[in-house]
Structure 1
Amino acid sequence: MTSRLEPGTAAPAFTLLDQDEKSVSLSDLRGRKVVLYFYPEALTVGCAKQACDFRDSLGSLQSAGYTVVGVSRDEPEKLRRFRERDGLTFDLLSDPDHAVHDAYGTWGEKNSYGRIIEGVIRSTFVLDEEGVIEKALYNVKATGHVARLRRDLGID
């Protein structure tokens, strides 16, 4: 795992394919505040819960000026099925070689049901309009995380 990112640092640049196989770059999001979250796997219970929490909070997040983007190692086709199945209305990006996960410090050893494994560390970053990290939240929980994030951002 690479080192963890800290608030006040520039978010690492990236270009990834979204669920529709269109390229999305961090530079495309400049001028907007961004909630960039990394999750382990599309179409799983915990990740669906987290994604649906973002979906259900999207109106208030957007009203506060935030764009939500999810990132996982899943291929675009699986992301498309996830988005359709759960009615997600924000982009999901594919990082199959976990290079962007590495750049953000969201890939490494973690405890999974008592076993130490290597994988995605569920994390969320809040970026300002210039792409600078305002919040770097590692090891977040799938359930309750979005409500806490909204409180931290003063949205509730």
Structure 2
Amino acid sequence: MAYAFYTGEAVDAPDLDGPHVDVMVRESILEQASAIASRCAELIKTEKVEPSDIVVLVAKRPKAQLQGSLNRLKLPNGVRWTFEQRADNAVLVETVGRFKGLEAPIVILWAGDEIIDPVERETAYVGTSRANYLLVVVGSAVATHFLAPNVKAG
């Protein structure tokens, strides 16, 4: 999936399948934040994922409003949100640009409609290529279809 956005020197795509991809279409910022918090809660509580294995990557503006929307939503078991810095018992929320070169087992990519702009191609590539196990794309119908056109939204 990520190679659709790769703009560097020509390379062969790897023979690996890549991470599983889920798509959550929500139109408003509050609905998107709520979907992200719910998915994180499910991963932590039901699937017993360590909070430090989950990263929310923001590819949407304004960052402060998005962080505020998440910060108002509670996570289970005393887990909290942490912004731009890892912490114990916390889910990291980071911008795609600052997470470049890093990976996480589970990445939730919070994408805005600006992701479809050709100048954001690198952001799309980086955002979709950071997950080792699970990539969850959250955003509007426009953004999610652009990033994951062959994945049925849940």
TM range (shorter): 0.3 to 0.5
The structure in which a higher percent of residues are strand is 1
- TM-score norm. by structure 1 comes to 0.36
The structure in which a higher percent of residues are helix is 2
- TM-score norm. by structure 2 comes to 0.36
